Each structure stands twice: as structure tokens, then as C-alpha cells.
A and B are shown apart, each in its own frame.
Chain A
Amino acid sequence: MIIGTMNKQKKRLGWLLFFFLLPAGQQLYAAVAADFERIMHEIAASRKKTAFFVEKKVAFYLDEPLISKGKLYYEYPDKLEKTLVSPVSEKQIIHGDEIKILKQDGSEEHVYTSDHPGIQSVVSAFLALLSGDADRLRAMYAVSSFKQNGGWRLELEPADENIKKWIKHIEVKGKKGKILSIKVIEFNDDYTLTTLYDHEE
């Protein structure tokens, strides 16, 4: 009974394949999924960070994307300064829950992120990412991590239903201890993509 033997052999092969592939699958998964803890640990190694950035905003009220360029300076744990050089010279200083905007015309604006849950969750995500604080990030977002192009990618989904009304998700790309880009996608698909380059530590 060749057919019967074939079937048996196939079955055996199937099992063999299964047992052979199981660790391979795990290895494959391990190859794709990056170690979130390790990434954050590497980011946390530097307490002060400087980089240039290009920011691209796409929104339904804009005809064309709003592009701004400048320099970013971060200081552990919760200070972030963005100095814009293009299209205008402007400064945004985030300290804790306060955003101070120094506009081109010399006027100043203060915004408290805790007054706006949506803005707060974005600012908190930036600060948690830059400080490499894995716990703080996980307290606000469900995090998935992946290996990509020799670096890594994080997908952040808001944990709070209330925040989901403002933000769909945040995508972060990086290499070792460096963040290369952060993309914030709002509930209506408006998005902001911040790309960082020329890091200094």
C-alpha cells in the first residue's frame, strides 16, 4: 500500500517539519521583534541629546504640508527645546506640562498640556521616548516593537479610550540608542512626521 505508506510518511514528515519549524518560528519571530526594554535602555544612556529635525504636518485644513526645520535639544527628564530656523525663527520650550511658544513677532504663549488630554499624551510620549523610560511609555500606550532595516520600529497605541478620540497611533523608528523619526497620526488621519538627523550626545 504505497499510498498508505506515503500518507504515513507525509504525516511523519509533517510532524518532523512542525518540530523542526517550531524553534525556527521562534527564531524568526525573535528576528523580527526587537527587544523594547533594550532599545529604551540604550536611549536612556544619554541624558542630553541634540539633533536637527525636519517636521512635516499634513492636515485637512492645509493645502500643502507644513514643513518646519530646526534644532532640537533634550535634557533629562522633561525638558525639550525646539528652535525653528525655517520657515520662521521661533522657539518652543516644553518643560514638564508647560509649553512656551516664543513667536517670531516677539509674543509669547503658554499652554498647559494638562488642559488638553490629546496634546498631553503626545508630549508625554515624546518625553518618555527621549528619556528612555519604558515604564512611563507603557503606562500610556500599548507598545509593539519590531526590527527593521538594521534598526527598530515601535508602534504605540493609546491605552486610554479618551486619548483614542485624539490620537490613532504613534510610530517611532530608530537605530540603537538613536530615535530617527516619530510619526503621530491623529484620529482623522492628520499626521505629523518628525525626522531627526545629525545626532549629538
Chain B
Amino acid sequence: MITKNKLINVPQFLWIVLLLGAFLYLGKNLTVVSDMSQFMPASGAGDNNASINLFLDEIQQGVTSKILFISVRADTTENTARFSKRLKRDMLQSGLFVTVANGEIDYEWQRFEKLFRYRYLLKPHLSSTDFSAEKLRLALTQRLADVRAGLGMVLKQTLAADPQNIFFDYLRGLARQQMPAKQYGVWFSADRQEALLLATMNVKGFDLDAQQRAITFVKRDLAEKPEVNIVISGPGSYAVASREKIQQASRILSVAATILILLLFWFAYRSIRLIVLVGLPLISAISFAMLVTNAVFGQVHGITLVFGITLLGVCIDYPVHFFSHLQQQQTALQVIRKIWPTLQLSVVTTSLGYLAFWGTDFTGLSQLAVFTVTGLLSAVAVTRWVLPAWIGTGYVAVIPGWLPLLPQKPGGNTPYYPLLPVLLSMLALSAFFWRDAVWEQDVSALSPIPAEARQTDRRLRQALGAPDVNHLFVLADRDAEKLLQRIESIKQKLQILQAEGLIGRIYAATDILPSRAMQERRKRQLPPPAVLQKNLATALQGLPFRPAFFQPFLQDVAASRSLEPLSVEFMMQTPLAEQLRSNFFWRKGKWISIVRLAGVSDAGALERWLESHPAVGKYYLNLHKATGSIVDNYRREALQRIVWGALIISLFLLITIGSLKKGAGILLPVVLAVILSLGVQLFAGTKLNLFHLLSLLLVAGIGLDYSLFFARHTQGARERLQSLHGVMIGAASTIIAFGLLALSGIPVLVAIGQTVALGVLACFILTLLMSQ
């Protein structure tokens, strides 16, 4: 019978108002960011570390993240080339792309006209000897050879002003050196089977939907031609592909989990009302956790959000305990009051565990602490003060007939049961010594992208001659000129290695835009008009060129001697802006520049050289190693905090309970369960990562909760069975949800799913067997 309680009392009213308020606030203010530097250490290795963070940020949000590598393959080479050209044209017309390159060169003269007059300031390695009579004659005879080869038609556009082809050489130097081979005017792979394109998507910030639209456009553009096969790769497609994969997996998983858990709850409670109410604490927990985190930090990180919500899954356990203890004779209020002390202790200890993450250098972890603690407290508060009024009396859990048959201790001492789990756990612990690689070192193993797709990416990147992302130098300065000068000095030093064949090519922003100082130096090398005129006259002797024809050349060189050097701002207005921006960009009050190396023949030798040349070496960043070490630090920090959390929890429990023996009895099964969960995974060949560790906190929290409920003083066998029922239903729902995650095939989710499902199973069995 449901008593005629008022459905809305003060707590319910407050809860509704707060929840509505939270929805309103979140609707207006929730800022979810995916800025990677949030999850990087805030302080630490000083200035260089800061620029590395800015660079990682750029990788994620800047031009680099918007690059697509595209391969086109059709029945014949000629058709492949034709489709490459058509795809390029369609892509540019769609407006979804900023640049599309397929090897076709655009010789629309007007595009570069603005830059043409700066050619003597831009061209690298130009010296005064290039204007000697001898060198000029060499250049002119080469032009004659070009004319004889039929190039005169094109050459005559610039011949009069630029007989040395200075501007063309400058542009050609900027084009990728390890350019893919061309067939029918477009880039082809080395095996001449596929045409290659390089595109930059027209996307602002981190807009996955826009990226998705662009990628879908490429996939669909030639869909009506069945003979055309298009492969898309590159950083820009990664984010979209992983999101697609995660969305796909989570759609199936959440439907499956919901159905299974609903069935479980129906089996346990046989009441629609209870099944509806069981979700309220969780919904409240997530809403308030988002609200408080956003209010404290001004934003919530995407990773915090996803991982935090997963961790808050434990909140389902609170109403489950509550509902399992419902009895015919008692009102819901009486029931919740009865289990409140245990519930309270369970929530406080779990929260303490998460609080250990507060105040780390990793903002992400701090956010996670606030998020989970707020969530846990909200869930338990809703269970305690909001739900009872809506239940009244008359509900009772369905205790299955086999439940009393589970091995459980009737009270008193049982020396036998604890021994087996202890032995098992010791065996599991040995896995840590038995396995030589316990920790996952390879960050890419965490990527949801299948290894095959990563292989494709590597292949296309190499074919397109894209620089090796593993060897680069990151430099930063508020002053663009100072930064450009520093790049020039580093490049000059690196050229020694280039001469030795240790590195193939150096890509630097100064190839496109030299520093003002460099431009001034080049200006000073230009010969005075009278000298040049004399040299040119000498050079032209005996050649069939009309001498007066080269008047523009004389004028331009003379004008260049007093030309104001080209600025960054000016360059950013030219067709070369995109190319400059990929290596030189403004971020958070600084200019950041990347110097990239290609064709590193011996990485070890390079690193040794850099160690002995700290002036260059201090800017060096091996991206693979750097992310690896950041992940390492992260894991170390998390591990430390977890140990601290465990100590705080233990201390708190011992003090609250006031008995070493009883406290140890509660803690021991949980500790053993954690060891078992990790040990089993290690024996199965899993390498541990950060997400395994963070999941352990959830396991420990749940385990303590079970242990406390088993250990609580009960009145009679019936109530003990009810506690067991609650724990069992809670464990079953957790194992269902996380067990499904373990099947998702997405590395991070598998890590969380495995650890929690195995851990909770171990917790359930061990706390059942060992509880006092």
C-alpha cells in the first residue's frame, strides 16, 4: 500500500528547483573543451614545455589537424589522373576546403605578382657573385637551352625581369622536395597505382561536424563511378573516424546495457516505479557534477566528462541498496534511515579516494576529482532525501530462493574462507614480477584507430613526402623577427648534418619568409646599377638575345636595393600564407614556429649530436618520446595519488570504525580484489595504462561499499539477505555495463571495462567470502 504522503515536500521541491536550475545553467554556460594542454602538466619543465603544449594544441586544433591525405585509384593511370583533377576541382568548388594540392601547378601569374618584386630578398643562398658577368652568362645560356626545349612560350612572361629565374627557383624550392612522382600532371605513388592529393579542410577550431561534412564530401564525390577507389587518411580524418567508431560502439552498447539492466531490475524489484526512481540519483549526479565542475573551472574537459560519467555509474548502487532493503512493515523513510550510516560511510570513503586527485598539476585530474565527488554526494543526497517520499510502503524486493544458498558466514569467525582469496591474490601479484612490460609505453596503442588505418596513414604520408612528425624543433617568441632570426641560426647549424647526410631536408618557416635582418643582408649584396649593367652587357656578348630586352631586370635589381623588407603580415596576405601558417603561427600571445626534419637516416646519431649541441638541442622535440614521457608522468602522478587516496581511505575507516581488526576485515577483501583484477589482466597479456589505474579507484569504492554493507550490523537473517540482494543486484548491473564496455573494441573503453568488471566480480566474491 502506498501511504498518502505528499509527493512534493521541501526536499523534493528543492531538488526539482536545483535540477531545473542546473539544466538552465548548463544550457547556457556549459563549455566543453578538448584542448589537449588541459590534460598536460600545468607547471614543470619551464618555457620549452609550455611551447610543447602550445604545439600539441596546434596539432589538435591548428592547420595540422585539418590535413587530409587522399588516394585515388581507377582502372587506368590516365583515368586515375583525370579523377584526381576532377576531385580537386569539385573539392575546391564545394567551399569545404582551403587548399587542395594534387601536383598540378597553378601558373596564374597574377596570384604571385605581389611577391615577384621581393624575389631578390626572398631567394635563399643568393650572393653578389650571382650577378657577375660569368654567372649571368651561365644563366642566360641556360635560358637559351630552355627556349630550345620549347619552354620559351612560358618563360617569356618573366624572362625580361628575371633572366636568372630567381623567383621560379624560390617557389620551386618551397614545393616539397621529396615530391611524389608525377604522371599526367598529378602526383602518383611510387608504384604508379594511385594518385595522391593533400587537402586542408575549411574548419574553424575543433568542429568535428564540419570535418565530417568535408570527409563525407570526398567519399561521395565520385561515388557514381564504381571503378574509382578513394582512401582518406591524415590527422583530420582521425578525429572523425574515432568519434564515429566510439559513437557506433556506444550506441549498440548503451542499448544493450539498458535492456539488460532493466531486465535485471525487473527481476529484482518487479516495480515500474522503482525502476524509474533508480535512475534519478544518477541523472542528478551527472547534472550537478557538470554544474559544479563548470562553475569551478569555467569549463569541463571532454575527457573529464566522458570518464566522469562512466565513474558515476556507481551511483546506481545507492538506490539499489535502498530498494533491496524495503520491507512490508517499514516505511521507505524508516528503511533509508536504517541503512544511512553505512551508505554515508561508503560515499564519504569513496569521495575521499577521488579527492586525492585534487590539486594535481594535471588540471584534467583535478576536474575529475571535483566532478566525481560532486556526483557521488548528489546521488547519495537524492537517495536519502528525495526518493523515500515517492516510495512510501508496500514495496519489497524479490529475494530469489537460491540466494540463501550462496556461501556466507552466519556470524563469528571463519578462518578458512579468507585463506583461499589471499593465496589467489598473492599468485595474481606475482604477475607484476613475472611480466617484464607491465605498463603500456606506446601511446598509439590507446588510439581507437585500427592498426591497418595507421599503416595507410604512414604509407600516404611517406608517399606525399610529408615531413617526419617525430623529429622537430619547437621555438617560440613574442617577437616574430627574433623568432625568425633564431630559426635561421638553428637551420644554419643543422645544415652541417644535412651535408653529412644524416638528415635529408630541413623545413623551416624562413624558407618562405626570411627574417628582416636576412632580407637586409641580401639587399646589401645586390650590385649597384652601373656594375650590373656592365656585367650584363659582357654576359650578353655573342648571345642571340636583344640587349635592350633586359631593361626590366636592371630596374628591378636597382629597386630591390631600397625595398622595405617583407613582413609577416604582408606574407599572410599572399598565396603562400597557408604554407607559412603550417610552420609559423600565433597562439596565446606568442609566435610559435616548427622546424621539421625529413629523411633522418640515423635517429640515434642525430640525438647524440643534439646532446652535444645544447643550443640547438634544447628546442628539439621527439614527439613520440615527448608524448610518451607526458603519459609516463601522468601515470606516475595518478599512481601516487591513488596510493595517497588508499591511505586516506584506510585511515578514515579505521578511525571511524574504531577497531583495527574490523577495519582490516573490511579493507582486506577490497585490496585483494584490486590485486586480483590487475593480476588476471596481466596474466592475460594486457599492458596497463592510465585508464586501468583510474578505474581501480572505482573498483575500490564499489568494493568498500560492498564490504561495508556485508559488515553492517543486521537484524536477523532476512535483513542480511536483503543486504546481500542489494550488493548482488548492484554488482550484476555494474558487471553488465562494464562487461559490455570491455567488448567495445575501443582500447580506452576496454581498459576501463575489463578492470571494473573483473574488479567488481572479485570484490563481490571476496567480500562475500571474507566479510566479518
Contacting pair A115 B159 (CB below 8 A): no
Q: Quick one: CB contact mask for B135-170 with A, threshold 8 Å, 1 for yes?
A: 000100110111111111110100110000000000
- Any chain A CB within 8 A of the CB of B685? no
- Any chain B CB within 8 A of the CB of A186? yes
- Any chain B CB within 8 A of the CB of A72? no
A66 interface neighbour in B144, B153, B549, Cβ under 8 Å: B144
Contacting pair A116 B146 (CB below 8 A): no
Contacting pair A116 B154 (CB below 8 A): yes
User: Closest residue of chain A to B540, judged by CB?
Assistant: A63
Contacting pair B148 A57 (CB below 8 A): yes
9 tightest A-B contacts by CB?
A: A114-B185, A115-B105, A118-B153, A92-B149, A101-B149, A61-B549, A63-B546, A116-B154, A62-B544
- Any chain A CB within 8 A of the CB of B416? no
- Any chain B CB within 8 A of the CB of A83? no
Contacting pair B154 A64 (CB below 8 A): no
Contacting pair B151 A119 (CB below 8 A): yes
Contacting pair A104 B145 (CB below 8 A): yes
- Any chain A CB within 8 A of the CB of B611? no
- Chain B residue contacts of A192, Cβ below 8 A: 150
| A60, B147: Cα distance in complex, Å | 12
Of A10-18, A42-50, A105-113, A152-160, the one with at least 4 CB within 8 A of chain B: A105-113
B184 interface neighbour in A64, A68, A114, Cβ under 8 Å: A114
Q: Quick one: CB contact mask for B412-426 with A, threshold 8 Å, 1 for yes?
A: 000000000000000
| A112, B106: Cα distance in complex, Å | 12
Residues of B within 8 A of A (CB): 104-105, 107, 138, 141-142, 144-154, 156, 159-160, 182-186, 544-547, 549
B148 interface neighbour in A84, A115, A190, Cβ under 8 Å: A84
Report A72 CB to chain B, min CB distance, Å: 13
Could you show 10 A-B contacts with beta carbons less than 8 Å apart?
A59-B156, A66-B147, A97-B182, A99-B149, A114-B104, A115-B185, A116-B151, A119-B150, A119-B154, A120-B185
| A57, B151: Cα distance in complex, Å | 12
| A57, B149: Cα distance in complex, Å | 11
- Chain B residue contacts of A90, Cβ below 8 A: 145, 148
Report B768 CB to chain A, min CB distance, Å: 76
Contacting pair B107 A66 (CB below 8 A): no
Contacting pair B150 A122 (CB below 8 A): yes
Q: Quick one: CB contact mask for A74-116 with B, threshold 8 Å, 1 for yes?
A: 0000000000100010101000111101011101010111111
B142 interface neighbour in A103, A115, A120, A122, Cβ under 8 Å: A103
- Chain B residue contacts of A109, Cβ below 8 A: 146, 149
A63 interface neighbour in B142, B145, B149, B544, Cβ under 8 Å: B544
Contacting pair A116 B153 (CB below 8 A): yes
The answer to whether A55 and B148 touch (CB under 8 A), given A96-B183, A114-B185, A119-B153, is: yes
Report B185 CB to chain A, min CB distance, Å: 2
User: Closest residue of chain B to A90, judged by CB?
Assistant: B145
- Chain A residue contacts of B142, Cβ below 8 A: 103, 105, 107
Contacting pair B107 A115 (CB below 8 A): yes
Report B336 CB to chain A, min CB distance, Å: 79
- Any chain B CB within 8 A of the CB of A166? yes
| A57, B765: Cα distance in complex, Å | 95
- Chain B residue contacts of A122, Cβ below 8 A: 150, 153
- Any chain B CB within 8 A of the CB of A129? no
Report B270 CB to chain A, min CB distance, Å: 75
| A158, B549: Cα distance in complex, Å | 29
Report B615 CB to chain A, min CB distance, Å: 36
Contacting pair A68 B148 (CB below 8 A): yes
| A63, B185: Cα distance in complex, Å | 34
- Chain A residue contacts of B105, Cβ below 8 A: 112, 115
| A112, B147: Cα distance in complex, Å | 15
Which residue, B138, B142, B153, B544, has most C-beta atoms of chain A within 10 A? B153
